[in-house]
Amino acid sequence: MAETPFTQLDSLVQNLGESFLPLLDRPFACFGHSLGGLLTFEVARWLRYYRQPEPRHLWISAVRAPQLPIPEPPLHALPEAELVAELRRYNGTPAAVLENAELMELLLPTIRADFALLETYRYQLQTPLTCSIKALAGSQDLIVSSEEITPWQVHTTGSFSLEVLPGDHFFVHQPRILQFLEAFFSGKGGKGE
């Protein structure tokens, strides 16, 4: 929290991409949930741009396809009470945290920066990645629908699959997610898992 948060996705992608460079001597795959899914995608594209290996596979979870517009008004500039109300709607922050004024004072700058990363992002058309993509959606997600996740399929020339799992935007907190990853890395999950 002592660091200045990133508010532009491009600079965060470059920072992360550069930190990946010493690790690219072996096959790798990436998982990203919500904003992390968009970040994972853009890091993969950054690596390709710099003629580095692409991941073998991307799991993109609970984030609308990047070419789709964000339908809501921006949240990062909302007054504090309205932003906290939106965080309640996302259902990913414990009520005890949202009700603790001192803790929220510490967390809100980072939360605002995360929303700014997403809300100021501008998709740039490029050729699709070659790695496989598995997209995940929550069946009760009120933030991102499976219809907004399905268009991720245009971003790969490899295999694409979509799986809708029970839960809201934070369905990621269930054992099934770890099972995808374990199956993939053990070789039992196939290319699209």
- Catalytically annotated residues: 34
Longest CA–CA separation in the chain, Å: 48
CA–CA distance, 189 with 163 (Å, rounded to integer): 14
Q: Please give the DSSP secondary-structure letter assigned to residue 129.
A: B
CA–CA distance, 176 with 178 (Å, rounded to integer): 5
End-to-end CA separation in angstroms for the chain: 35
Could you tell me which residues are beta bridge partners of residue 58? Answer: 30, 133
CA–CA distance, 89 with 141 (Å, rounded to integer): 10
Q: How many CA atoms lie within 13 Å of 30's alpha carbon, on the beta-carbon side?
A: 24
The Cα angle at residue 124 between residues 123 and 129, in degrees rounded to 5 = 100
